[in-house]
Chain A
Amino acid sequence: DVKVTQSSRYLVKRTGEKVFLECVQDMDHENMFWYRQDPGLGLRLIYFSYDVKMKEKGDIPEGYSVSREKKERFSLILESASTNQTSMYLCASSLEGTGNIQYFGAGTRLSVL
C-alpha cells in the first residue's frame, strides 16, 4: 500500500512565524502535491512537483513556497504565516502516467494565531 506521511496532524503557530510542513511518500512516485482544504471550497492546489527540484504553481501559490530536494519528500513553507492561512493542508503523490490517481496523507490542521 502507498503511504503518504505528513509530519504533524495538528500545528499551532503565531502570525509572522516561518512554518514548515513536511510530507514523505514511500512508493517512488514522481509527482507530489500540496493542497489546502477549507469548508465550502473543497481542495485547492497550492503547488505540485513532477520531479526533484522541479515545481509548478497551482491555483493559490501566494504566500507559500515549496522544496523538493529528494524524490520522496515534498515540503510546504509558509514564509510568514498569517491568520488567513489557518486551514487543513493535504499532501498527495501520484505515479507518472496514471492521470489524476493520487494518494493522500491524513492532513495537517494548521492554526495561525
Chain B
Amino acid sequence: LAKTTQPISMDSYEGQEVNITCSHNNIATNDYITWYQQFPSQGPRFIIQGYKTKVTNEVASLFIPADRKSSTLSLPRVSLSDTAVYYCLVGDISSNTGKLIFGQGTTLQVKP
C-alpha cells in the first residue's frame, strides 16, 4: 500500500518562496498527486493537482519528477495568511485499488 510522507513542520518568512516535498515511493500508474491547504476549524481546500512534470496555477506550482516518487509544492512569495497545514494526497478512486492516501500534513509557519 502506498505511503505518503511529508515533513512535519516548516518555517519561513514573508516574501520567501516555500517548497514542501512529499515522498510517495509506491505511487501507482493511475495515481494523481493533489495538494490541499487547511486552516484551523476548516476543512482542507484544494490547491493544485498534477500527474507528471510541472503544473502551475495562480497560487502555486507543483513539480513532479519523471519517476513520480516524490512531488514538490512551491508557494511563491508567501504571506502571513499562508500559515496553514499542507497535505499531499496520492491515489485514484477510479482505479481497482480505489485508495486515497493523505500525508500526515506539513505545518507551515510564516513569520513577519
Residues in A lying within 8 Å of B, measured CB to CB: 4, 31, 33, 35, 40-45, 48, 50, 56, 58-59, 90, 92, 96, 99-107
Contact = CB atoms under 8 A, between A and B. Distances in A.
Contact of B32 (A33, A35, A99): A99
Nearest to A43: B102
B77 interface: no
8 contacts: A42-B103, A43-B44, A45-B99, A58-B99, A99-B32, A100-B49, A100-B92, A104-B45
B41 interface: yes
A56 B98 contact: yes
Contacts, number: 60
A92 B43 contact: yes
Nearest to A103: B46
Contacts of A44: 102
A102 to B, nearest CB: 7
Given A42-B105, A99-B92, A100-B91, A90 B44 contact: yes
A7 B15 CA distance: 39
A59 B45 contact: no
Interface size class of B (residues with CB under 8 A): 20 to 34
Contacts of A40: 104
Given A48-B93, A100-B89, A58 B100 contact: yes
Given A99-B34, A100-B93, A104-B43, 11 more contacts: A4-B43, A31-B93, A40-B104, A41-B104, A48-B93, A90-B43, A92-B43, A99-B51, A100-B89, A100-B100, A101-B49
B93 A106 contact: no
B57 to A, nearest CB: 12
Contact of B34 (A58, A100, A105): A100
Contacts of A4: 43
A6 B101 CA distance: 22
